[in-house]
Amino acid sequence: MSSVRSVDEVVGELSGTFSGQLLRPADAGYDEARRVHNGLVDKRPALIARCRGVADVVDAVNHTRKLGLEVAVRGGGHNVAGRATIDGGLVIDLSPMKGIHVDPKGRTVRAQGGVTWGELNRETQLYGFAVTGGVVSSTGIAGLTLGGGLGWLMGKHGLALDNLRSIELVTADGKVVRTSQHEEPDLFWAVRGGGGNFGVATSLEYQLHAIGPTVTAGLIAHPFDRARDLLRFFRDSTASLPDEHTIFGTLTHAPDGSGTKMAAMATCHCGSLEAGEKAMRPLKRFGSPVLDAIGPMPYCQLNGMLDSAYPRGAFNYWKSSFLAELSDDAIDTMIACFARCPTSMGQLLLEHVHGAAARIGIGDTAFPHRAVGYNFLVLSQWTDATDTDACTAWARETYAEMQPFVAPGRYVNYLDDDEAGDPVPAAYGANYRRLQELKMKYDPKNFFRMNQNIRPLA
């Protein structure tokens, strides 16, 4: 924990040049600034440094390190485990850093670390371009990308991190470093999957692709008593998808708040509208859906389609692993567990990975999960604090019952904070030792440790 004197020293030394805001607990705006997306996270930093530019980030890193304070870095604030904030330490808050520059001729975009996917898509779609992003538009680009970046376009264009051209980082020693395939290439390898372990990502440059402005996408849902047939159909459908087509399967609740359980598929086809319409026919003709919202829609609308299901401030507790296979027994276990879900905001999600995202070598980036298959997510979410024990217990019990079907790998962006032992090595597999070596090179004192932490190799 930091002392009041140390925080006062930071404020005193920064106040003459810092162009952003320095917020202490008694300051106006502090309570709003300290909140992150997950309402279950309730931490009180000693100081929040809301940076307006790279020089602010450098000053915040240097003074925090010099005084021995603990530090967290916030981009969009969506990390479910709450690693974007810290009790008693200093938060380097990038959320005011919203600069976006699109180069339509070069088909690239550079955006600062506080940009969200909704903001990025709005700018790139002006020119008919996009890059793989998340499925909730308020998610920050930096956190999602540095840990992987599953999204609607990953079958055709790979993960978000696969589309990085370069990153500007402020390292633990306060240096501004541009890293790419040709500049500090070992660092560029590490940040593509290594999360926030190697520095503060002040800007990210992506390769863009011609997408939209209209794609074929949406949600189709069936009664819960047809869940077994639906998930089997989902499994069969994902066995032979073209790169342009992404389908996620879910056991979820009706969007009207009634609590009615449903089995559903969320989908996107990013090719021509004619090809998209043809690809969606089997989904629309299967069974008797109670909701069919699949059709042409603006790409930006697709990326906001699920926003209302993940409101800021709701309590979230997640458990996740990749599946070895989606067997009939796994499907039956999912259904039995979801039947006991105590919250109308809870769901079980199957994120299908295929195509371009699975054609990259395990060692080509720090992110190692390149096999075709499914990421399984238990997403428990609720708004009444009195439901916390029941909702977290359901998530843990469901995850435990699914253990016979999981693969060794874990998606680092979904790791929670109450794991037994250290789950981070499982997120990196064969790449973990190299990451430890690079952590020793770029952050030997583990200054950036409020994350899915990679410990320096001793």
pLDDT, residue 12, reads: 87
Whether residue 222 contacts residue 251, with contact meaning beta carbons closer than 8 Å, is answered with: no
Q: Is the pLDDT of residue 2 over 80?
A: no
Q: Is the pLDDT of residue 1 over 60?
A: no
Tokens of 271: 């090719």
- State the average pLDDT for the chain: 96
More confident residue, 106 or 7: 106
Backbone angles phi, psi at 160, to 5 degrees: -55, -45
pLDDT, residue 439, reads: 98
24-33, pLDDT tens digit by residue? Answer: 999 999 999 9
180-207, pLDDT tens digit by residue? Answer: 999 999 999 999 999 999 999 999 999 9
pLDDT, residue 4, reads: 66
Residues above pLDDT 90, as percent of the chain: 92
Spatial distance between the Cα atoms of 97 and 87, rounded to a whole number of angstroms: 23
Spatial distance between the Cα atoms of 73 and 127, rounded to a whole number of angstroms: 31
Q: Is the pLDDT of residue 159 over 60?
A: yes
pLDDT, residue 112, reads: 98
Q: In what order do the strands lie in the sheet with 100-103?
A: 100-103, 108-112, 200-207, 164-170, 176-180
pLDDT, residue 421, reads: 80
Whether residue 51 contacts residue 57, with contact meaning beta carbons closer than 8 Å, is answered with: yes
DSSP letters of 228-254? HHHHHHHHHHHTT--TTEEEEEEEEE-
DSSP reduced 3-state for 81: coil
251-270, pLDDT tens digit by residue? Answer: 999 988 899 999 999 999 99
Average pLDDT of the segment spanning 281-306 = 97
Residues 6+ apart with CB under 8 A from 439: 190, 197, 198, 446, 454, 455, 456, 457
Residues above pLDDT 70, as percent of the chain: 99
Is the pTM higher than 0.85? The answer reads yes
Virtual torsion, Cα 214, 306, 411, 133, nearest 10 deg: 30
DSSP letters of 369-425? --SSEEEEEEEEEES-GGGHHHHHHHHHHHHHHTGGGB-S---GGG--S--SS--HH
118-135, pLDDT tens digit by residue? Answer: 999 999 999 999 999 989
pLDDT, residue 418, reads: 75
pLDDT, residue 121, reads: 98
Average pLDDT of the segment spanning 303-325 = 95
Q: Is the pLDDT of residue 305 over 90?
A: yes
pLDDT, residue 438, reads: 98
Question: How would residue 284 be classed by pLDDT, with cut points 50, 70 and 90?
Answer: very high
Q: Is the pLDDT of residue 3 over 80?
A: no
87-110, pLDDT tens digit by residue? Answer: 999 999 999 999 999 999 999 999
DSSP letters of 306-358? TGGGS-TT-EEEEEEEEBS---HHHHHHHHHHHTT---TT-EEEEEEE-GGGG
DSSP state of 116: B
53-89, pLDDT tens digit by residue? Answer: 999 999 999 999 988 899 999 999 999 999 999 999 9
Length of the chain: 458
Average pLDDT of the segment spanning 403-411 = 94
Question: How would residue 16 be classed by pLDDT, with cut points 50, 70 and 90?
Answer: confident
Q: What share of the chain is helix, strand, coil (3-state, %, to 5)?
A: 35, 25, 40
Spatial distance between the Cα atoms of 33 and 439, rounded to a whole number of angstroms: 30
Q: In what order do the strands lie in the sheet with 47-50?
A: 21-23, 47-50, 90-93, 71-74
Which domains, from first to last, does the chain contain? Answer: 4-93 (3.30.43.10), 100-211+433-442 (3.30.465.10), 214-414 (3.40.462.20)
For β-strands 47-50 and 90-93, DSSP reports them as parallel
